[in-house]
Amino acid sequence: MLGAKLHRKYKGFRDRSIDTAASDRTPRGLEEPAAPTQRSQRCRCPSGAPSPTEKPPHRFPVTKTKLNATDNCLQEGSHVALINGLPDEISILCLARVPRRYHHILRCVSRKWRALLCSEEWHYHRQKNNMEETWIYVMCRANLKGNLCYVLDPDPANRSWKLIQPIPSPCSKKDGMSVEALGKKLYLLGGCSWQEDATDEVYCYDASANKWDVASSMPTARCFFVSASLDDKLYISSGLGLRSTAPNSWDIYHSDSDSWISHKNPLHNHDIIKLIALEGKLCTIHKSWDGFFAYAGIYDPASATWQGIDNEIALSTYGPTVVVEGVLYMLQETSGMRLMKWQEERKKWVAIGRLSSHLTRPPCHLVAIGRSIYVIGQRLSTVVIDVDEAAKVEGLMVSSSFSPRFDCDHTIISCNTITI
């Protein structure tokens, strides 16, 4: 009886649970619609158009305007400032005051800065603001490495010899070359070697761009000839060449057009052993047929005429010469190391003083920067003489000297200066 009662009670409880679960179900299709979300409440609009309550999408109009402006600049020729925020005129004035020893860094900033340092405008501002600096370039021959070119910054705080860009390989083993400076360029002219006869090749080194380039060839192949630079022109004559007419020709190079003009030697005598540019003219030094007597003449490029002068100046064959502000100086190496000065009024050489034989290694070469004469001997030994100070003291001249910070056995070929 008790089991039957429990069974009926459990059956009634189960039936109620099933009815309750069934009542909770809603037939498919009769569900109540879900509460509308915020997005479903917006009205549907045509595709691509925002609804009245929707914020229009951001189309980046500012960026589009910038791109259009950039395209227009590129089409019309854009201008990029040297220094952002400054006019180019002010930027050039600032950059022109940078010391020359940092110019190699300026060339690395941008192509526009590199082009500026090679322009005439740059040199004009350097000269106008008295910021020009003169460096010394020495071509020398090393026993094992061939021909090398060194540069010297004369500033006492940075005074040391440094090797510049390697010279072109055709010139590395040549002998009998002539080296001249014209403007901001250094020219290597002619030459020969054991495997090659005299050549007409010309190479130039642009000190502003720090690179070598090929220049117009000489009309006549030469080696072991004389040369001089005067008024933006190079004058060459004499020497040995492939043709018998080489000693009788006079070749002139025009730097502005990179061209040569060749004509017959205007001098009565062709045995020129030295050319000196002096007061807008060329002083020619000759030797007689026996080699014991020297004489001189003056060639005027304006009138293309030559005339003989007092032979006393021909004693400049006894040593290297240099012109300091229109005055000719010579380092006499035959009887000690004496600095001589040419006095035009008296037509004679006057001794200024002597150099210590322990400071120089002859044969030497001379260059001048301002009122100072640099005596550069073998192995790049260098002595600096102040002309004004040297004239005040008789006997041994007061001078300063220094040697390279590296071991070298170089023989000096030529010395030149370039001002930038």
Tell which residue, 134, 139, 166, 160, has the closest CA to residue 150.
139
Distance CA 26, CA 314 (A): 130
Distance CA 58, CA 236 (A): 74
pLDDT surpassing 70 at residue 18:
no
pLDDT surpassing 80 at residue 76:
no
Contacts with 160 (C-beta within 8 Å, 6 or more apart), sequence order = 152, 153, 404, 405
pLDDT surpassing 90 at residue 243:
no
Q: Which two tokens stand for residue 417?
A: 């200066």
In one-letter notation, the amino acid at residue 416 is: N
Q: Which two tokens stand for residue 184?
A: 């901001």
193 DSSP assignment: -
pLDDT surpassing 70 at residue 200:
yes
**Percentage of the residues of the chain whose pLDDT score is greater than 70:** 78
Contact at 8 Å (CB) between 192 and 211? no
pLDDT surpassing 80 at residue 235:
yes
Residue 245 pLDDT level (bands cut at 50, 70, 90)? low
pLDDT digits (tens, 9 = 90+) for 325-343: 999 999 998 878 899 999 9
Burial class of residue 367 (count of CB atoms within 10 Å of its CB; 0-12, 13-18, 19+) = buried
**DSSP states along 30-70:** -PPPPPPPTTTTSPP--TTS--TTSPPPP--HHHHHHHHHH
pLDDT digits (tens, 9 = 90+) for 276-326: 999 999 999 988 766 667 888 888 888 888 888 877 888 888 899 999 999
Contact at 8 Å (CB) between 218 and 227? no
Distances (CA, A) of 419 to 14, 48, 154, 380: 114, 70, 12, 21
In one-letter notation, the amino acid at residue 339 is: L
Contact at 8 Å (CB) between 92 and 125? yes
Contacts with 194 (C-beta within 8 Å, 6 or more apart), sequence order = none
Sign of the torsion angle spanned by Cα atoms 384, 388, 393, 395: positive
In one-letter notation, the amino acid at residue 104 is: H
Q: How far apart are the first and last CA of the chain?
A: 129
Q: Which two tokens stand for residue 160?
A: 């040391």
Residue 72 pLDDT level (bands cut at 50, 70, 90)? very low
Contacts with 363 (C-beta within 8 Å, 6 or more apart), sequence order = 320, 333, 377, 378, 412
pLDDT surpassing 90 at residue 184:
yes
pTM of the model: 0.79
Contact at 8 Å (CB) between 372 and 356? no
Sign of the torsion angle spanned by Cα atoms 67, 68, 70, 71: positive
Token look-up 């050039």 returns: 92
Element (H, E) at 113: helix 111-117
Written in H, E and C, the secondary structure of 27-40 is: CCCCCCCCCCCCCC
Residue 244 pLDDT level (bands cut at 50, 70, 90)? low
Return phi, psi of residue 358, to 5°: -80, -15
Quote the pLDDT of residue 10.
46
Token look-up 């603001």 returns: 129
Distance CA 277, CA 345 (A): 19
Q: Which two tokens stand for residue 347?
A: 């037509």
Burial class of residue 280 (count of CB atoms within 10 Å of its CB; 0-12, 13-18, 19+) = exposed
* Residue 306 vs residue 122, higher pLDDT: 122
pLDDT digits (tens, 9 = 90+) for 362-400: 899 999 999 999 999 988 999 999 998 887 877 788 888
